[in-house]
Amino acid sequence: MRYGIRPRKSLGQNFLISGNVLDRIVAAAEIRSGDTVVEIGPGVGVLTRRLALAGARVIALELDRRLLPLLEETLADLSGVEVVQGDALEVDFRALLAERGLTGTFKVVANLPYYITSPLIARLLEEGHPFELAVVMVQREVAERLVAGPGTKAYGAFSVLVQYYTQPASVLRVSRRNFSPPPEVDSTVILMRRLKEPRVKVNSAPAFFAVVRGAFGQRRKMLPSALEGAGLGLDKRFWMQVCEIAGIDPKRRGETLSIGEFGQLADAYTKYHGNPFAGK
């Protein structure tokens, strides 16, 4: 490719080359003049440029040092862009913004390397970073998990995590032919809009997510059996009582529970057993 830089498979580099898809991503991000956007993995800067021209202040976070000179050169005419070398799985987003005098919320836009998609989204949500919305390109299978509902094959603990904190929606399906080099799978652009409050009110978020992970840990088992092996301090007999307190049939499996029902189950657990996560 230009500048003699070849995409690295080890970094999951598949550069988006479709102008129409790039424009759809920018539109989905609802850029207003002065918005702060953290772009993760700017690649060769084609999306970065569109974000800046739409009025955003863009902090482009790039892991690959080889791309920094290219980005500095090709984006030099844009005053609202700063390229920062760093790993999105490790960078302190609050410090990144505070060092530049930026406060309040920000937006995340990314054509994510597939191997960091789940850990990065989980980190943004679990660590409470104040993003307003995120528009991310992800592998189609991951997109299905993000928006999946109870009773579907794709529904799991990751679905619950994302939907507890955000309202996810599919924006656009993207063929592998829109990338250079083409990946082995097709992609989907997902919009995750941060909710002002978590989707359900629970006594303890850590207990809630521990119950969710336990229920999906052995997803083919009924709730008491699955949760017995989750390390939460109760055996099958007591989990049957917790289900009764929560008003949930103990013969159900975790994959059939809505987020609200998981909240009922977690609250019943902390009332019955106490909250082992207090203070965490």
Predicted local confidence at residue 273, as pLDDT: 81
Homologous superfamily (CATH) of 205-273 is: rRNA adenine dimethylase, C-terminal domain (1.10.8.100)
pTM beyond 0.75, yes or no: yes
- Distance of alpha carbon 176 from alpha carbon 16, whole angstroms: 9
Q: How far apart are CA 65 and CA 58, in angstroms?
A: 18
Output the tens digit of pLDDT for each of the chain's 280 residues.
Answer: 455 555 554 444 566 777 788 999 999 999 999 999 999 989 889 999 999 999 999 999 999 888 899 899 999 999 999 999 999 999 999 999 999 999 889 999 998 777 889 999 999 999 999 999 999 999 999 999 999 999 999 999 999 999 999 999 999 998 877 777 666 788 899 999 999 999 999 999 999 999 999 999 988 899 999 999 888 888 999 999 999 999 999 999 999 999 999 999 999 999 988 777 765 5
For 257, half-sphere exposure in the C-beta direction (CA atoms, 13 angstrom radius) is 31
What's the rounded Cα separation, in Å, for the pair 41 and 64? Answer: 9
Domain boundaries, the chain: 2-194, 205-273
Please state at what angle helix 236-246 crosses helix 259-273, rounded to 10 degrees. 120
Predicted pLDDT at 1 = 45
The greatest distance separating any two alpha carbons of the chain, rounded to the nearest whole angstrom, comes to 67
Average pLDDT, the chain: 90
Beta-carbon contacts of residue 39 (< 8 Å; ≥ 6 apart) = 47, 48, 51, 58, 59, 60, 61, 108, 109, 110
Q: What is the pLDDT of residues 82-132, one digit of tens each?
A: 999 999 999 999 999 999 999 889 999 998 777 889 999 999 999 999 999
CB proximity list for 87: less than 8 A, separation 6 or greater: 63
How far, in Å, CA of 84 to CA of 131, rounded?
18
pLDDT at residue 211, rounded to an integer: 97
**Amino acid type, 214:** G
pLDDT of residue 182: 63
- Return the pLDDT at 10: 47
pLDDT recorded at residue 49:
95
Instruction: Say how far apart CA 136 and CA 109 lie, in whole Å.
Output: 6
Closest CA to 111 of 5, 18, 234: 18
Architecture category of domain 2-194 in CATH:
3-Layer(aba) Sandwich (3.40)
**Res 13: pLDDT:** 53
Cβ-count burial 155-188 (b if 16+ within 10 Å, e if not) = bbbbbbbbbbbbebeebbebeeebbeeebeebbb
Q: What is the pLDDT of residue 179?
A: 73
